[in-house]
Amino acid sequence: KLREVLSTHKDLARKLEEALAAFTQKHGGSLRGVGLHRVIDAGDQADPMVTRLCNAGLSVRATPGGCITVRPAFDSVDAWVTALNR
C-alpha cells in the first residue's frame, strides 16, 4: 500500500512540475522545489503572476523578494494542472 501511495505522489509531482515548467516558460520566472512544494522565482513579475494564478482559481501567494509559493493539496493536483494549462 505504501508503494502505491508513493508512486501516486511521484506521478502527481511530475504532472505538477511539467505544468509549472510550461507556465514559467510562457510567463517568465524559474521553478525550484521538490515534490508538491514548489516556488516560482518571479522577481518583479510576482504580483501579476499571482493575479493570473488566482484568477485561474489557484491559491498562491507572493513572498518578499518576488517568489510565489505553490503547495497544492494532494487531491487537487489535477485541478492545478488543468488550470495551469489553460
Q: pLDDT tens digit string along 31-55? A: 999 888 899 999 999 999 999 999 9
What is the per-residue pLDDT for 57?
86
Entry pTM: 0.85
Nearest-angstrom CA–CA distance, 61 and 41 = 12
Q: Kindly give the confidence (pLDDT) of every residue in the chain, 86 residues in length, as a single tens digit, with 9 standing for 90 and above.
A: 777 777 887 888 899 999 999 999 999 999 999 888 899 999 999 999 999 999 988 889 899 999 999 988 878 888 989 988 88
**Measured between alpha carbons, how far is 46 from 66 in angstroms, rounded to an integer?**
5
